[in-house]
Amino acid sequence: MSIALVLLAAGKGTRMNSEMPKVLHKIAGAPMLAHAMRTGAVLAPERTVVVAGHGAEAVALVAADLDETSDVVLQEDQLGTAHAVDQARGALADFNGDVVVLYADTPFVRDETLQRMIDARQTHHLVILGFEAADPKRYGRLMMDGESLERIVEYKDATEAERAITFCNSGLVACDRAMLFDLIAAVGNDNASAEYYLTDIVEIARARGLSVTAVACDEAETLGVNSRADLAQAEAIFQQTARAQLLDLGVTLAAPETVFLSYDTVIGRDAEIEQNVVFGPGVTVESGARIRAFSHLEGCHVSGGAVVGPYARLRPGAELAENVHVGNFVEIKNAILGEGSKANHLTYIGDASVGKNTNIGAGTITCNYDGVFKHRTEIGDNVFIGSDTMLVAPVSVGDGAMTATGAVITRDVDPGALAIARAKQDNKPGRAKKLMDMLKARKARVRN
Ligand code: UD1
Ligand code: CA
């Protein structure tokens, strides 16, 4: 069956106390909207419609970035969840199949749960996702009659007896497109909030003799983010789950609670991650690599046998081949390091390529930026870059070449050549004491 996703993302999120629309706040490096879209992606949707309101332009940019085929529709005034879904009516006018409504601020619905909703659609016209709430708070209550869902009553409109029900509405809905918009057309706003409640479609469907049911999920899946505290909690939950998944996959985490992952972090089996490592978005670490304590990685790829850190920083475009060593206080950006090469201490390598089995001495810097433009440094195989070499890009060092310690390399170095580029040393016998005495005398004069 064809599926269209409708993601509700218009709410103001007042309690976030933010200039930014709520659904663009990030969990594990990705906006909540992306998490919702990723969840929905298991249904291989043919169409995705994002209903935006507050900060719609920013939401539209992010939605297009995540899925260029998605539609973003504007809900100018937030008149309720039925009104929100109704904004997708035009965008889906030519779509035949099922609509699944998701909240963009509810990032943890499991793939398997969505699948169960779709399965339940085989036998029911309308399927709602419910959950058994430990503390039902202000959620809508699901009034079941056996398998049949008869009505959803919003907390504000519920009687004491209805409030005693603990089976609650998550907000997710699955229904045939034409039928859903027919039902929504019949929703009014005569209720405690004067809003168009999507939940009213249940009672309307039942009155029309349609069959409605609720599928149940874990309460944890329906965690919605309404405040920064919720966001922090959602982040913690994400991290816990992601760490557990890595452990299951055979990754060693020396102290799992101190390792922070992104939504897309990929780490291979038997990789070893030490304490206090942070993975920004876009990192792949292959099987058998070792990331040592206090390292920060983003947008990079680390091959098997490579050792990174402690205290290393890999920035976007860092590509480490097999058995590369990147040590303490080394920063790599937009640079490829070939197999077996080493940069072990206090180094910056940016906009560069380094061949195989090359040794980069302590304190080496690729001077890649002239204040306006970025320039590349090309270093060959089996090169020895002496400590404290400044490579003033654009510049290249050929295979098997060496640079002397303290060199400032401004011209290309041919393969096999030794480049010495530093001032000649001049030793003045006995001058140390003379200089010291002179300085001390000067200090004494300044004091008096
Ligand atoms: C809604 C449900 C309630 C359910 C709860 C689960 C209704 C009437 N009530 O209540 O039964 O238990 O979610 O969290 O549906 N939104 C828009 N436009 C609007 C209104 C809302 O896009 O005009 C979006 C919000 O951004 C949010 C979602 O819809 O993502 C839910 O809206 P919210 O106001 O939080 O609904 P609740 O009152 O919590
Ligand atoms: Ca809510």
Express each pLDDT in 201-221 by its tens digit. 999 999 999 999 999 999 999
Alpha carbon of 224 to ligand 2 centroid (Å): 7
Closest by alpha carbon to 242, among 57, 410, 28?
28
Give CATH superfamily name and number for 228-419.
Answer: Hexapeptide repeat proteins (2.160.10.10)
Strand, helix or coil for residue 155: helix
Say whether pLDDT at 75 is over 90. yes
CB atoms under 10 Å from CB of 446, counted, come to 7
Beta-strand runs (E) in 393-443? 395-397, 402-403, 408-409, 418-419
Say whether pLDDT at 447 is over 90. no
In the 8-state DSSP scheme, what is residue 46? S
Alpha carbon of 420 to ligand 1 centroid (Å): 69
Q: What is the mean pLDDT of residues 22-38?
A: 97
Alpha carbon of 168 to ligand 1 centroid (Å): 13
CA 87 – CA 51 distance, rounded (Å): 7
Ligand 1 contact via 78 beta carbon (within 6 Å): yes
Express each pLDDT in 301-339 by its tens digit. 999 999 999 999 999 999 999 999 999 999 999 999 999
Tell me how many degrees the CA angle 225-229-233 measures, rounded to the nearest 5. Answer: 70
Length of the chain: 448
Model pLDDT, residue 303:
98
Strand, helix or coil for residue 423: coil
Alpha carbon of 203 to ligand 1 centroid (Å): 18
Ligand 1 contact via 107 beta carbon (within 6 Å): no
Active-site residue identified among 25, 35, 125, 345? 345
Express each pLDDT in 381-396 by its tens digit. 999 999 999 999 999 9
Establish whether the linkage from the previous residue to 136 is cis, with ω within 30° of 0.
no
CA 56 – CA 300 distance, rounded (Å): 32
pTM of the model: 0.91
**Can you read off the two tokens belonging to residue 338?**
């070939």
CA 287 – CA 410 distance, rounded (Å): 39
What share of the chain has pLDDT > 70, as a percent? 100
Residue type at position 299: G
Residues spanned by CATH 2.160.10.10 within the chain?
228-419
The residue to mutate among 14, 15, 76, 81, having the most atoms of ligand 1 within 8 angstroms of its beta carbon, is 81
CA distances from 3 to 8, 49, 168, 284 (A): 16, 11, 25, 32
Model pLDDT, residue 321:
98
Decide if 265 contacts 279 (C-beta within 8 A). yes
Q: Please provide the average confidence, as pLDDT, over all residues in the chain.
A: 97
CB atoms under 10 Å from CB of 44, counted, come to 8
* Nearest bound ligand to the CA of residue 83: 1
Which CATH code is given to the segment(s) 3-222? 3.90.550.10
Ligand 1 contact via 84 beta carbon (within 6 Å): yes
Say whether pLDDT at 430 is over 90. yes
In the 8-state DSSP scheme, what is residue 68? T
Q: What is the mean pLDDT of residues 427-443?
A: 97
**At 179, phi and psi to the nearest 5?**
-65, -40
Ligand 1 contact via 140 beta carbon (within 6 Å): yes
Of ligand 1's atoms, which has the minimum distance to the CA of residue 168?
Answer: 12
Express each pLDDT in 133-185 by its tens digit. 999 999 999 999 999 999 999 999 999 999 999 999 999 999 999 999 999 99
Q: What is the mean pLDDT of residues 111-130?
A: 98
Q: How confident is the model at residue 1 (pLDDT cuts 50, 70, 90)?
A: confident
Q: What is the mean pLDDT of residues 66-78?
A: 97
Express each pLDDT in 39-61 by its tens digit. 999 999 999 999 999 999 999 99
Residue closest by Cα to atom 3 of ligand 1: 140
Residue closest by Cα to atom 22 of ligand 1: 10
326-333 own/partner pairs: CB under 8 Å, 24+ apart = 332/300
Model pLDDT, residue 391:
98
CA 125 – CA 203 distance, rounded (Å): 13
**At 335, phi and psi to the nearest 5?**
-145, 145
* Nearest bound ligand to the CA of residue 80: 1
CA 98 – CA 2 distance, rounded (Å): 6
CA 82 – CA 186 distance, rounded (Å): 10
Alpha carbon of 172 to ligand 1 centroid (Å): 10
Model pLDDT, residue 11:
86
* Nearest bound ligand to the CA of residue 103: 1
Model pLDDT, residue 384:
98
Say whether pLDDT at 448 is over 90. no
Model pLDDT, residue 51:
98
Say whether pLDDT at 12 is over 90. no
Q: Is 83 a catalytic residue?
A: no
Position of tokens 């206080």? Answer: 329
Residues in contact with 72: Cβ distance below 8 Å, sequence separation at least 6, in sequence order: 49, 50, 52, 56, 59, 60, 63, 64
Ligand 1 contact via 10 beta carbon (within 6 Å): yes
Residues spanned by CATH 3.90.550.10 within the chain?
3-222
Q: How confident is the model at residue 399 (pLDDT cuts 50, 70, 90)?
A: very high
